[in-house]
Structure 1
């Protein structure tokens, strides 16, 4: 007598670990309830269409008044690199005399006070910047700035006045497979905004893929925070920024590469920071979400860092260099347009090649000398040119001398 398919499945599941069963149950529930729809970053009613743009007014800045700028964002979590970069531009605009407000677009109607506290605590430099939720209409601002493809659609749908700008940190169609979300992200670049492209990769893709013009905003590096620290101990091991929910950050590649690295170098410690991870096939020291200062301290203890990105480069490689750690990154022609520091180690985007590259860095005969050379390679870098470029565009758009 043969067992039923249902009994066979149950028998196989009983041989699994409790953690596997929990994740399997969550996956089935996720599929059955259609929870994936909650991940779409914009409400249907806020999706704009470049072939049917709504009219809007521009405002003349009142002489002697502070020009007002709204920056539309999704609510941030502490440690968000994209928000940190944008907030540098907000701070620069406020210092240049603009009255800045963060408008939070939250699909799930979270607690405004909670988001307010997160921003004030995680980014204390924004203490004098206003924070509000996006209303049914966006009005009362001289300029409105989008921070992502979804917020560009929100502005195109809800803003009734103000100059429209779009601070673009990555070519976001690449975040998803070709389909509806990919197309909506593409269309965000056709909505009539003035585009501020962070780095040559973004500017080149906007031009080559869509024929869209943009202002180039150069990548920066915070060398006041990320720098060599005095130390008498030898650097050991590697670190890795774990980002489980962003496939473009190469989570699966990193796990396999570090597993191979550990097999060859079992005595070298592996430090993980960022998202909470469990069940890794190698031992790690997990640090969680770190402040910039604490992260710099960690970078000063390791020999190398694994920094993967399959779209625009992250800030991590140059921050590692500034702290004397050698970044190992996946080979990519777009990334090379932006990341030019000589201390970067490039490797083919395969786990074995990445593991070998990490091993080659640790095999260097003089770790201290190489760390010093890495820090010198980015000495003097800052975010000042990027901030000045953004402020200049705002002034130009609003007719301010």
Structure 2
């Protein structure tokens, strides 16, 4: 079997990206390969293997601090945009792979970092992407061929629990530390939902960061995987927003039978099925409309719940990791790439809110006057007058 080197960034507690990398490395080891994990931290403290075990509950024998301490291997895998150039410049002969979990250029303002992240796709590494949209994008934008594996979920954890009673509730993966997860947009949408349906329970989870939220809610913070599944089983709608590659969260929600609301953007068209997800225009009003439509329609919710569960029934993590393993073997054997066109899964029209005066005022009334005053101070003088009018409406003057 082969020796495979992984060059991964500094570990982050609760990181789904790190967990995915390590799950695939662990699977390859079970298939007989020898994986060497190189952590970015050049001056790491403590046993590197124990550090991974303590955070992600996975044990590896070969974990080394510092990328520069790498030794020859059969395959070298870049896992973050700034590791691509490093892997491309390794001074020993090997197959070079780029494990792409997101379009990282979009994590940065348009400038040097944005362009350097895009450059990472052009160093001659063979990409293996999570999901179809990324593979489609790399081919369409950079003429780079690669492999992909489908989004999966741990079906031993994410599943229906009939004994849990459903609440009239929405859960939102709230991660303000990750701009691509659009926490502000999600809160604005949920504020509208709470205004129009005051008896709906709102759960936020996914981050220990707790900012001011102007409507009644429960912020659960970071919760473990089993608690996530329990949350999905007691809610009626799951909200997960991604402005780049889809999150893994919607697939875990679907496995638990929870209908999903996401944004109607191209990055979601290739991996999310229209039978189990509602994609809405990216305005808070439209996202709220999709959530309210599901909360108000038992038949639609039940249909989507069943469809999501059926969509995920053959997508256990071992299917995902096996597809990654097959891609690695294709790279080792120098196999040709598939020329099959990647088709969209989601072809439905977006959910759109009707922008009547009543609906607009409904949205305005969720905004606390104190927030409006703070927003006004950030605007040029010429734009403050319209906001003052809104402020007077909110105050009822």
Q: TM-score scaled by structure 2?
A: 0.77
Inter-partner Cα distance in structure 1 for 2:156 and 2:168:
24
- Is the contact between residue 305 and residue 328 of structure 1 (CA under 8 Å) also seen in structure 2? yes
Name which of 59, 70, 91 aligns with 2:5. 70
Quote the residue 1:89 is aligned against.
24
SS at match of 1:384: helix
Deviations 1:337-370 (A, max 9, x none): 1112511011110011111111111112358845
Q: What is the CA-CA distance between 1:320 and the residue it aligns to?
A: 1.0
Q: What is the CA-CA distance between 1:400 and the residue it aligns to?
A: 11
Inter-partner Cα distance in structure 2 for 1:297 and 1:163:
42
- Is the contact between residue 235 and residue 300 of structure 1 (CA under 8 Å) also seen in structure 2? no
Q: What is the CA-CA distance between 1:283 and the residue it aligns to?
A: 2.0
Whether 2:154 is the aligned partner of 1:154: answer: no
Quote the residue 1:285 is aligned against.
218
Name which of 158, 163, 166 aligns with 1:231. 163
Q: What is the CA-CA distance between 1:161 and the residue it aligns to?
A: 4.3
Quote the residue 2:343 is aligned against.
none
Deviations 1:142-193 (A, max 9, x none): 2211111112123234554432111111222222232111111111112121
Inter-partner Cα distance in structure 2 for 1:169 and 1:70:
17
SS at match of 2:298: coil
Inter-partner Cα distance in structure 1 for 2:139 and 2:187:
35
- Is the contact between residue 49 and residue 62 of structure 2 (CA under 8 Å) also seen in structure 1? no
- Is the contact between residue 50 and residue 59 of structure 2 (CA under 8 Å) also seen in structure 1? no
Q: What is the CA-CA distance between 1:291 and the residue it aligns to?
A: 1.7
Q: What is the CA-CA distance between 1:216 and the residue it aligns to?
A: 2.4
Quote the residue 2:258 is aligned against.
325
Deviations 1:123-150 (A, max 9, x none): 22x3134221124342232221111111
- Is the contact between residue 4 and residue 76 of structure 2 (CA under 8 Å) also seen in structure 1? yes
- Is the contact between residue 137 and residue 159 of structure 1 (CA under 8 Å) also seen in structure 2? no
**CA 1:332–1:85 in structure 2 vs 1: closer, same or farther (change >3 Å)?**
same
Quote the residue 2:328 is aligned against.
394
- Is the contact between residue 134 and residue 245 of structure 2 (CA under 8 Å) also seen in structure 1? yes
Quote the residue 2:146 is aligned against.
214
Whether 2:291 is the aligned partner of 1:358: answer: yes
Quote the residue 1:143 is aligned against.
75
Deviations 1:12-47 (A, max 9, x none): xxxxxxxxxxxxxxxxxxxxxxxxxxxxxxxxxxxx
Deviations 1:29-67 (A, max 9, x none): xxxxxxxxxxxxxxxxxxxxxxxxxxxxxxxxxxxxx42
Inter-partner Cα distance in structure 2 for 1:161 and 1:112:
31
- Is the contact between residue 160 and residue 255 of structure 2 (CA under 8 Å) also seen in structure 1? yes
Quote the residue 2:375 is aligned against.
none
**CA 1:139–1:159 in structure 2 vs 1: closer, same or farther (change >3 Å)?**
farther
RMSD of the TM alignment (CA)?
A: 2.4
- Is the contact between residue 139 and residue 162 of structure 1 (CA under 8 Å) also seen in structure 2? no
Deviations 1:199-219 (A, max 9, x none): 221111111211111122222
Deviations 1:251-306 (A, max 9, x none): 11011111111111222111111122221111221222122111101111111111
SS at match of 1:136: helix
Name which of 295, 313, 316 aligns with 1:379. 313
Q: Report how many residues are paired.
A: 333
Name which of 34, 37, 40 aligns with 1:105. 40
SS at match of 2:320: helix
Name which of 254, 259, 269 aligns with 1:336. 269
Per mean C-alpha deviation after superposition, the further-off stretch among 115-124 and 278-287 is 115-124
**CA 1:373–1:168 in structure 2 vs 1: closer, same or farther (change >3 Å)?**
closer
**CA 1:221–1:135 in structure 2 vs 1: closer, same or farther (change >3 Å)?**
closer
Quote the residue 2:114 is aligned against.
182
- Is the contact between residue 5 and residue 37 of structure 2 (CA under 8 Å) also seen in structure 1? yes
Inter-partner Cα distance in structure 1 for 2:245 and 2:176:
17
- Is the contact between residue 168 and residue 200 of structure 2 (CA under 8 Å) also seen in structure 1? yes
Inter-partner Cα distance in structure 1 for 2:53 and 2:272:
32
Quote the residue 2:129 is aligned against.
197
